Structure 1
Amino acid sequence: MNDATQKDTQITSFRTILADPPWDVLQKGGRGAVRHYQLMTLERIKAMPVAELVAPEAHLWLWTTNATLRDGYDVAACWGFTVRSPLTWVKFHLGLGQYLRNSSETLLFCTRGKAPVKFKGQPTWFNAPVQDHSHKPEELYPLIERISEGPYLELFARRRPPSNKPWSVWGNQIDSDIAIPGYPVPSDAARLRGQQ
């Protein structure tokens, strides 16, 4: 959340959500992510009350892995969105893979209501360098801001977005700006201690 936004304000009408769920790919033969962060089951991700956080007309940018691409469509639907197009992050390195070498990731662009886009010239791919494990490209934030209206919310955030736009964050690796009922994160406990 930028300095112009009051800390602990519960905004319930975000126009744009960016989410990078900790998919439990171990169930699908995947490995690796469990060494870096706690995973969530598909059912738990689907049950998140995201529809209660967004405006009637909103955008969702949902990261999926190759193993969870089909699940991403189901999650979007459960959250009240319709998938409109994939956006592929083409990486500059050859990754691992059980069958093919992964050198891309998919971000599903979804809408709720009419939710028009501000910019219609974005291709369905973008290039950006790879950083540390699961660190999504910084180049994504201006891309989203060019297409989607704020205020913005990043779910499962690990760091503050590099932006001066109205971004709020939620996740268990960051001091979250909002609370999601039934999905406590460490900063919720710290916030409650501060209110006592």
Structure 2
Amino acid sequence: MTGYRTILADPPWDIEQRGGRGAEHHYDLMTLDRIVHMPVSDLAAEDAHLWLWVTNATLRHGYDVAEAWGFTVRSPLTWVKFRLGLGNYLRNSTEHLLFATRGRAPVQFRSQPTWIQAPVQDHSHKPEEQYALIERISPGPYLELFARRPPPQGHDRPRWHVWGNQIDSDIQIPGYRVPSDSHNQPRGGTP
């Protein structure tokens, strides 16, 4: 499927950071070059929104990725966490969700501040509040890339399609395999 008007992405950045990363113990990482070359622009509608998660260490790369995918970053939304994290210079207690657009893609809600405050959960678990926030601002259909858990479901919630490395995926991206692709292969197909 293509023509997603809103895409949420939390790339598994393989960016060297002093003091170790730890993410590779939870999921496979991707190089910046591999992330940049994903055909995300082919999945998006002409008028679309992108919500791209970055850490403080990957903030600069996030702008490059959004641009490579055909989007222009309009504003960062900062997640203020309730606890201090690690850091070589300052103690990290924030992550950022870059909001980007392509084409003519106005927002549905204009009163969202540039920050949210939500508790930290397990490793790389973004706040559940992100879905309601995104649905309030951005139109569907929705796609989450690099999904690590299913989005919340409910009769009053829009459906999110997912592509991810830790849950079954609804879509396939040529050249970018995830574990659930083996379930979708026809018998006798190549892995």
TM-score (norm 1): 0.91
Q: CA deviation at 1:193?
A: 4.4
Alignment partner for residue 79 of structure 1, among 69, 72, 86?
A: 69
SS at match of 1:67: coil
Q: Which amino acid letter does the alignment assign opposite residue 159 of structure 2?
A: P
Matched, 1:144 2:137: no
Counterpart of 1:66 in 2: which secondary structure?
coil
Distance in 1 between the 2:188 and 2:50 partners? Answer: 32
Helix, strand or coil for the counterpart of 1:43? Answer: helix
Give the equivalent residue in structure 2 for 1:176: 169
State the match for 1:8 in structure 2. none
Gaps of 5+ in 1: 1-10
Partner Cα distance (1:80, 1:35) in 2? 31
Aligned to 1:120: 110
Q: CA deviation at 1:195?
A: 8.7
| Change in 2 beyond 3 A, CA 1:109/1:195 | farther
Normalised TM-score (structure 2): 0.93
Q: Distance in 2 between matches of 1:194 and 1:93?
A: 49
Residue 87 of structure 2: aligned partner: 97
**What is the CA distance between 1:194 and its match in structure 2?**
6.1
Using the alignment, how far apart are the partners of 1:194 and 1:103 within structure 2? Answer: 48
Shift of 1:166: 2.1
- Determine if contact 2:28/2:165 at 8 Å carries over to the other structure: no
Per mean C-alpha deviation after superposition, the further-off stretch among 66-75 and 163-172 is 163-172
Shift of 1:94: 1.1
C-alpha displacement of 1:162: 0.9
Provide Cα deviations, 1:55-110, integer angstroms capped at 9, x if missing partner.
00000000011111000000000000000000000001111111111111011000
Name whichever structure is richer in helix by fraction. Answer: 1
What residue in structure 1 maps to residue 122 of structure 2? 132
**2:181 corresponds to 1:188:** yes
1:186 match: secondary structure: coil
Question: Using a 3 Å threshold, how does the CA distance of structure 1 residues 194 and 125 change in structure 2: closer, same or farther?
Answer: farther
* 1:4 match: none
| CA RMSD, Structure 1 to Structure 2 (Å) | 1.3
Gaps of 5+ in 2: none
Counterpart in the other structure of 1:155: 145
Give distance in 2, aligned partners of 1:76 and 1:124: 18
Q: What number of residue pairs does the alignment pair up?
A: 185
1:191 offset after TM fit, Å?
A: 1.0
The residue aligned with 1:7 is none
Q: Distance in 1 between matches of 2:53 and 2:130?
A: 12
CA offset digits 1:127-175 (Å, max 9, x no partner) = 1110000000001100000000000000000111114212100011111
